[in-house]
A and B are shown apart, each in its own frame.
Chain A
């Protein structure tokens, strides 16, 4: 199993690497196109601000590479948001893998949403063995609107897409690497997905 975590200078990727290590997999951090293409599985992380993250992706040419990947790719948090069409954060165009837009929560709720909330209406092998209304850890100010690619939903101010899937591309708004044992199950499920590379 060759697992690559895309390292484009965005956020804390150490926790993701450690989480996979707890599952017995040594993930490689890389921004090298050949290395990413050759991986069995790819993690697309992201913490921080959308427009500056997108700038960093463009700088390394990863914005054109990522949508062409054939193996399972998992976007986490901002990574998932950048895989959408557009984000209100910094008025940023995304990679357009998921046909939905990313909006900001209104100030009628505390922003960021920070803490544990449930995921429901689960619809993917990614959630094998995860029960409806399982708690996951989330930290975010922007959310993806529902679309045909929604595979999990969460309520905070409104009902939004907390996970998305399009073919081999998966995205989760929550942090499976910080969501206890249940989060680790999701990472394990991702590792067990068929690799079509």
Chain B
């Protein structure tokens, strides 16, 4: 049976992981490669690298990092942050990234999703969506959640699926950073509306939250950062607990 995936997310700035990582056994917690290898070792199913300060100038630094990760890490990984052109994606994939994630650029120019899917295949196109509830409606937000739009989350998700997205990474801004659990109601609705995998993001605080997002939220994968980086939830233990609750995971 296809398993549910556990996905640590690493924030990257100038090719280094930004502070907010507290791993005991690392010689250099700022080195994305070391961190990624460690995560692969303990059973992470895939990784997301988010370039939080992506600019045209530091693109080369990120490409170098992607190459180093691809050389040394034997599980799949996605790269996101500041990606808005076919050429940029081509460069990232050629360095060895398995998937790319696009967000604001897809909203600004939805045809980008079609272009990427046609050229590289849907399997490597992740569309990330940041949304929060405004007057009871889920509205898409841009630029790291700072710019509200009138776009409805579910309609947008459906549209990018039709345009060729292979996966949706949905971050609930209402839940992100709260450690109070994932946005399971919205996630379940996404899963019911779409026929592509959904990655849940935002709100992970304890093991029960992961159980809930897989069971109630019908999520295919769950992404988290700080609970993994600070060792609050060790991945092997998390997976054992999920298994105990009859959730299929790779052990």
Contacts and interface: CB of A to CB of B under 8 A. Distances in A.
Interface of A: 11-12, 14-15, 18-19, 21-22, 47-49, 107, 110-118, 135, 137-141, 155-156, 175, 177-181, 183-184
Interface in B74-129: 74-76, 93-98, 120-124
A15 B96 contact: yes
Given A21-B71, A112-B123, A117-B1, A15 B250 contact: no
Given A14-B94, A15-B98, A178 B76 contact: yes
A184 B74 contact: yes
Given A48-B121, A180-B75, A117 B70 contact: no
Q: Interface majority SS on B: helix, strand, loop or mixed?
A: loop
B70 A115 contact: no
B30 interface: no
B17 to A, nearest CB: 21
A139 B1 contact: no
B70 A181 contact: no
A141 to B, nearest CB: 8
A49 B116 CA distance: 12
B195 interface: yes
A148 B94 CA distance: 36
B75 A114 contact: no
Given A49-B121, A112-B123, A180-B74, A12 B196 contact: no
The A interface, classified by DSSP as helix, strand, loop or mixed, is mixed
Interface of B: 1-5, 40, 45-46, 70-72, 74-76, 93-98, 120-124, 166-167, 195-197, 220-221, 250
A115 B75 contact: no
A185 B166 CA distance: 29
7 contacts: A22-B71, A112-B166, A113-B2, A114-B167, A115-B46, A115-B197, A175-B76
A108 B65 CA distance: 39
Contacts of A181: 74
B93 A12 contact: yes
Nearest to A107: B195
B184 to A, nearest CB: 17
Contacts of A19: 74
A82 B204 CA distance: 42
A117 B197 CA distance: 14
A12 B96 contact: yes
Given A47-B120, A110-B220, A155-B1, 4 more contacts: A14-B96, A156-B1, A180-B40, A180-B74
A111 B121 CA distance: 13
B102 to A, nearest CB: 17
The 6 nearest A-B residue pairs measured at CB: A14-B96, A135-B250, A48-B121, A116-B250, A139-B123, A117-B2
